[in-house]
Amino acid sequence: MKYLQTVGLVSICLLLALGRSASAASSADILGQSPDSHWRTVDPQHTYVMQLTDKRMVLIELAPAFAPRHAAQIAALVKSGWYDGLAIVRVNDNYVTQWGDAEGTKPLPDGLSRTLPAEFELPRVPADLPFNAVPGRDAYAPEAGFAQGWPVGRQSARGPAWLAHCYGMVGAGRDSAPDSGGAGELYAVIGHSPRHLDRNITVVGRVLLGMEYLAALPRGDDAMGFYATPAQRVPILSARLLSQLPDAGRPVVQVLRTDSSSYARWLEARRNRTDSWFVRPAGAIDLCNAMPPVRLR
């Protein structure tokens, strides 16, 4: 079989990794050698599992550092079981898969509002938020890099800073008014990263596991990829925070710390592939090809 080297959320290269030089470690080697302290365990209060079927689990981490009100709203909705029985309503090829309360009529738990103020960007970057730049040119932002594992564009070190629409990132749909979103409908990016959406809509998190289920759904035939009939929709059996799951059934999910030396080495190995298959390592990488690896403990 002819092959291409693989990439993916939890990609482990199974090819014989013949280095270009004896000292060049592959990205798989680097992950294998990384100490546990270089991995961040996700917060069970801000990470949830959405079950599409018994076997199809989508795991989403929220980003309270960037969208605190939306993250709190989604966590509260998940906790109350509000997403249970809703559905995926839209799959637009090379763009997004979208789910939630398409009609906007499902009653909300007490104390929650249907809309929230926009959280498109952080006007100022908190001093304690690390930023690890991805070296090279970014087409959309003056500076691009990672903060606590999140892909970020920013104007300068002072801000503004915003989450980037990379493959697998999750946002909150809105109508025309900036403050019209409220986490009743969410979407995940399933194609080439639509970075023109950055700063135009609230990005709330990332799909850490299960993107293959959101991305492989039949595309919708209606305008903008909406399913033409309710019968085509894909039901959401349930959504639960990790903190709601019994200890025995709770996955321990980790993301490589983007401020660790392992990530820096991994990034460099991705910029310049050491596998012998590559005849011309790119010497470059873009933000959305540098998303930190995820693992299940």
> Nearest Cα to 245, choosing from 55, 109, 47?
47
Q: How far is the CB of 68 from a second copy (least distance, A)?
A: 20
Chain positions 110 to 149 lying near a second copy, rule: CB under 8 A, are 120, 136-140
Neighbour order of strands in the sheet with 253-256 = 39-41, 253-256, 294-296
CA distance 167 to 183: 19
* Among 36, 107, 176, 247, contact with a second copy (rule: CB under 8 A): 176
- From the list 24-32, 61-69, 79-87, 190-198, the region that binds a second copy by CB under 8 A is 190-198
Enumerate the β-bridge partners of residue 242. Answer: none
Please give the residues from 251 up to 270 whose contact with a second copy meets the rule CB under 8 A.
270
Nearest to 62 by CA among 77, 51, 80: 77
Task: Quote the CA–CA distance of 30 and 13 in Å, as a whole number.
Answer: 11
Taking the complex as a whole, the smallest distance from the CB of residue 237 to a second copy amounts, in Å, to: 19
Q: Which is nearer to a second copy, 92 or 262 (CB)?
A: 92
Would you count residue 273 as binding a second copy (CB under 8 A)? yes
**In the window 220-249, what residues touch a second copy (CB under 8 A)?**
223-226
Q: Which amino acid is at 86?
A: L
Of 124 and 192, the one with the shorter C-beta distance to a second copy is 192
Decide: is 277 part of the binding site for a second copy (CB under 8 A): yes
**In the set 82, 150, 167, 263, which binds a second copy (CB under 8 A)?**
167
* Minimal distance, residue 174 CB to a second copy, in Å: 6
Output 131 or 140, the one with its CB closest to a second copy.
140
Q: Which helix (H) or strand (E) holds 69?
A: helix 68-79
Q: Please tell me whether residue 198 binds a second copy under the rule CB under 8 A.
A: yes
CA 225 to the chain's CA centroid: 21
Is the bond preceding residue 292 a cis peptide, omega within 30 degrees? no
Look-up of token digits 């799951």: 245
Q: Does the protein bind a second copy through residue 92 (CB under 8 A)?
A: yes
What backbone torsions phi and psi does residue 265 show, to the nearest 5 degrees?
-70, -40
Q: Phi and psi dihedrals of 186, rounded to 5? A: -120, 160
Cα 76–chain centre separation: 20
The burial of 224, by beta-carbon neighbours within 10 Å (0-12 exposed, 13-18 middle, 19 or more buried), is given as exposed
Query: Is residue 217 within the footprint of a second copy (CB under 8 A)?
Result: yes
Instruction: Determine, following the binding rule CB under 8 A, whether residue 200 of this chain makes contact with a second copy.
Output: yes
Instruction: CB nearer to a second copy: give 41 or 282.
Output: 282
179 interacts with a second copy by CB under 8 A: no
Strand locations in 10-77 (E):
39-41, 47-51, 57-62
State which of residues 133, 157, 228, 282 lies at the interface with a second copy (CB under 8 A).
282
Q: Which of residues 64-83 bind a second copy (CB under 8 A)?
A: none
- Footprint of a second copy on residues 26-45 (CB under 8 A)? none
